[in-house]
Structures are given as C-alpha cells and as structure tokens.
Amino acid sequence: MAGARHFAATTHKEDIVEDQLLTTVDWARAQFALTAMYHWIFVPLTLGLSFLIAFFESIYVKTGNEEWKKLTKFWMTLFGINFAIGVATGIILEFQFGTNWSNYSWMVGDIFGAPLAIEGIFAFFIEATFFAVMFFGWHRVSKGFHLFSTWMVAIGSNLSAVWILVANGWMQFPIGMNFNPDTARFEMQNFWEVALSPVAVHKFTHTTSSAFLLAALFVVGISALFLLQERHQKMAKRSMVVAAVFGFIASIFVAFTGDEAAFSVAQRQPMKLAAMEGLYVGQEKAPIIAMGIINSSKKPGDDLPAFYQEVKIPGLLSLLANRDPNSFVPGINDLVFGNAERNIIGAEQRMVTGKIALAELARYKYAKDTGDDGESAAALAIFDQHKGDLGYGYLNNPAEAAPPVATTFYSFHIMVVLGTLFPVIFLLVLYFAYKGTLEYQRWLNLACFFSIFLGYVAQQAGWVVAEVGRQPWAIQGLLPVGMASTNIAASNVQTTFFMFLTLFTALLIAEIRIIMKQIKIGPEA
C-alpha cells in the first residue's frame, strides 16, 4: 500500500499552497475562456452567413436578376472579412493544450486526435478549393458551378464544426473509451459511440442552429441600418426578408434543439441543470424560474434562501428534465450530499470511491515501478471497480462538485430570454415587409440593429452555461480542471493572457472597422 500511503501523507499540504496553485489554474482558465470567447465571435457568423449567401445566390441563379448578384457579393464580402479575421484563432486553443493543460492534453490525446485531424484536413480542402471558386470564380466558372461551390462552403464550414463539438461533447459525457493506467490515457474503444454521442449530437444541432440565428440577426441588423440611413433600401429589404425567414426558422430549431439539449443535460449532467435553475433542494413538480435574483451567498447545505426574488412556473423544470411535469428533479444539495430516499449517490459518497480509485492507481504505479506483479494486479482490480468516480477523489469538499451557480443561472436565463425575443423581431420584420412599410419603422430598425449585439451576447451566454455549468470538471466526473493543468508559473500564463487580449482585441477592432467601411461603401463596390 506504499502508493496509497504516499497519497494520504501528502494531502495535508494542500491548503498551504492551494492559493498559489489556484492562481496558475485560474489564469490558465481565464486565458482559455478569453480565447474561446473571442474565437466564438467569428465562428458563428461564418457558419450562418455562409448559408444565407447560398440562399441569396440561389435566388440570383434562379431569377437571373443582377441585383440579387450584387446583393450576394456584398454579403459575401462581409463574410470574407469575418472569415479572414477569424481564421486560425482556434489554433491558439491548441497551443494552450500543450503548454497550460499538458496532463489533460496527454490524457485525451487518443480521443481527440482523430476528430481534430479530420476537422483540419476537411477545413483545408474546403477552403482551398470551393472558397477560392466562391471569391475568384464569378466570371471564370459557370453560374451553376459557382453556386455549387457556395453551397459547399456553407455545408463544409458547418461540417467542420462537427468534430470540435464531438470533442467538447465527449468532455461533458465521456463514453466509448477506457482509461489505461499504464499510459495514463483515455483510449478510444468505440469511435461511433464517441462521434454519435447524444451530447455531441445535441451540441452540434444547437450550436449550428444558433449560429444561423446570429447570422440572420447580422443581415437583418445591417440591412436595418441601411433603411435608417435611407440607403440601398431595395437591397436591404430583400436581404431582410430572406434573413428574417431563415432567422425565424432557425429560432424554432434553436428552441427545439435547446429543449433536447436541456433534457440531455438533465439525464447526464444533473448538477449543471440544477445550477442553471438555481435548484438547491430537489423536488417533484420542480418549477422553472422565469425571473429571479439569485442569492450569491448561498452555499450547498446551508439554510439561506436560494433567491431574493423569483417568479416561478410550477412543473416546467420537471417537464423539461424528465418529460413529466410531476417528476422529481434533483437539486444541488441532493447531488452534493446524496439522497437515499431518491437513490441518489452524492458527491460526498463518490469522493470516498474516488479516493479509493486514486489510492489504488498510485499503488498500481508503485507496484509496476518496483516490478511487483501480484501487487499491481490486485491494485488494478480494485481500481477498475472504483474508477468511474476517479475525478471525485481529487475533491477536498463535496461542495466543490457544484459549479458557480449565479454565473450559470444568469447566463442560462439571458440566453433563453434573448432566444425568445429574436423570433419576435423576425416576425415583426416579416409583418412590416408584407405591409410594405418596413423602411418607416424606425423603432424596429433600431431594434434590429442593436439585436446584432444581443445575438452575440446570447451566443456567449450559451457557451458560459455549457462550460461554467460543468465545473469543476475538465472531463465530467473523471478529471477536475485543477488536475488537468500543467504545473507552471502563474506569471507565464498571465503574460500570454494579456498578449492574447491585445491580439484579439486588435483583430476585433480591425474586423469592425473593415466591415463598417464596407457597409459605408455599400453593395456598389
């Protein structure tokens, strides 16, 4: 039991250096969040606008009307600007894996290697061929082949998003793998289980449909600006109608996929769902909080109220989580401390199992290093029985299994409220377009323009729910974020954090300036 003793003997030191370690991990997390959030400013517009351009060009090819061509080329220019500024911003995330998250990077290499390689190859071929035809081929290839290329860019861009979302889905719901204690790696056992994981499927459908919605808001908003400025009104109204129809359909799809994603979260990450709704004590007929001011002092297990003020819709959370308005939805307290009556094993009990798994893994390693085959086989047998809760073994307190509730709750509610507002805006645009008075609705055009910003807020809020809501885990239940990181000096990560902040802010400013210049020039360019 030497390895286990070693593990136990060193735990008392944790508090002494915890703050120091948290600093490094926190900076690494902040850097990753910053990079991912900036990256996600560029990506959804690429995913959605590519389809809108394909629609515009399809109308041009069908009607032969040159004004639709001019309109297509205008939006294609804005698409090109966004693509050029955003391209390769995601690679920085991969830099960070090797430097800041080396344990994690090593452990998931076998799972992520294939999907990310497929993504890279796929994106390269799409971009090098069809992208070039789309931009350079207007007078050099037939109308039909040009349109085909535009559709291929739209489909290809969206398909290349599959693999990174598969990787993210696996982190939220790790399946199709086995942990190899000799290589310290999660090794893929079943590719299709990983690729077609329900979490990955829901992530892809919800993420891409929300990207369509954002692009529709972008086109509607920029077109509304033209109407406000009384410029290019015919083009603006045409763009708005197509984008509003696309945006409205996308909104319905976002709601549907969002509901499916929430159902999936309820089954596989119940703690995240409880945090999304600020539900501390599990209950039957659990309500959705339509509006609420959360009590940020509240901790799992205490008697403080969860909300200062709230407006509830009874039974709706139960319906969302289990498709039954009378069903029981576990709260944070149930998931932290357990609930024997409901047969829920809490983090407190899982910590015991996890610490056994960790101690046996340490014993296995020690036995292997010393060549004791009997001891290593015995340790491995016990480890295999307990490895499902491996990650809980790293927690010092069961309450650490709960994510930051206020951030998750507010982000979720901001996303839902905005997601409800957008289809109303699209319907109003279509109504006034039908009445032929769209250009006179100054208030609506202003609302459309500001909705571009709100669309980005909703996008970012969605990712905050997904990523903050799964804390403390890098890999759900198996590896907490703190153990995923590299033991390097906090100052290194701090330095690069500010470098990225500067680089990405410069890119964002460049994007906005170039796009605004193009809008000023308009479709005549």
Partner 1 sequence: MTALPKKLYFFYRDGFRSMVVGKTLWKIIAIKLFIMFAVLKLFFFPNHLARNFNTEQERAGHVLENITRPASAR
Q: Looking up tokens 């047969």, which residue turns up?
A: 343
Q: Which is nearer to partner 1, 349 or 492 (CB)?
A: 492
CB of 383 to partner 1, least distance (A): 11
CB of 355 to partner 1, least distance (A): 10
Rounded Cα–Cα distance for residues 345 and 325 (Å): 23
Give CA separation, 358 vs 182, 225, 372, in Å. 14, 59, 19
CB of 362 to partner 1, least distance (A): 4
Task: Kindly report each contact of residues 71-76 with a partner whose C-beta sits within 8 Å and lies 24 or more positions away, as own/partner.
Answer: 71/235, 71/238, 71/239, 71/523, 73/138, 73/523, 74/235, 74/518, 74/522, 74/523, 74/525, 75/49, 75/219, 75/239, 76/134, 76/135
272 Cβ partners below 8 Å, 6+ apart?
265, 403, 408, 465, 469, 470
Q: Which is nearer to partner 1, 167 or 478 (CB)?
A: 478
CB of 54 to partner 1, least distance (A): 20
Rounded Cα–Cα distance for residues 59 and 523 (Å): 17
Q: Which is nearer to partner 1, 227 or 390 (CB)?
A: 390
CB of 127 to partner 1, least distance (A): 12
Residues in the chain: 525
Q: Which two tokens stand for residue 92?
A: 């920085």
Q: Which is nearer to partner 1, 81 or 222 (CB)?
A: 81
CB of 32 to partner 1, least distance (A): 12
Q: Which is nearer to partner 1, 31 or 411 (CB)?
A: 31
Q: Looking up tokens 């039957």, which residue turns up?
A: 284
Rounded Cα–Cα distance for residues 521 and 525 (Å): 6
Instruction: Tell me whether residue 501 is exposed, middle or buried, using C-beta atoms within 10 angstroms of its C-beta: 0 to 12, 13 to 18, 19 or more.
Output: middle
Q: Which is nearer to partner 1, 140 or 343 (CB)?
A: 140
CB of 397 to partner 1, least distance (A): 14
Q: Which two tokens stand for residue 50?
A: 């590519």
Q: Which is nearer to partner 1, 342 or 520 (CB)?
A: 520
Q: Which is nearer to partner 1, 328 or 473 (CB)?
A: 473
Q: Which is nearer to partner 1, 421 or 514 (CB)?
A: 514
Q: Which two tokens stand for residue 469?
A: 């809501």
CB of 240 to partner 1, least distance (A): 23
CB of 71 to partner 1, least distance (A): 17
Give CA separation, 505 vs 46, 173, 464, 494, in Å. 19, 33, 20, 16
Rounded Cα–Cα distance for residues 316 and 152 (Å): 41
Concatenated DSSP letters of 164-186: HHHHHHHHHS--SEEEETTTTEE
Other Cβ atoms within 10 Å of 1 Cβ, number:
15
- Binding region for partner 1 (CB under 8 A): 3, 6-7, 10-11, 13-14, 16-18, 21, 77, 80-81, 84-85, 87-88, 91-92, 95-96, 98-99, 102-103, 105-107, 132, 135-137, 140, 181-185, 358, 361-362, 365, 394, 479, 482-483, 486-488, 492, 495-496, 499, 503, 507, 510, 514, 518, 525
CB of 356 to partner 1, least distance (A): 13
Q: Which is nearer to partner 1, 18 or 324 (CB)?
A: 18
359 Cβ partners below 8 Å, 6+ apart?
1, 3, 4, 7, 8, 393
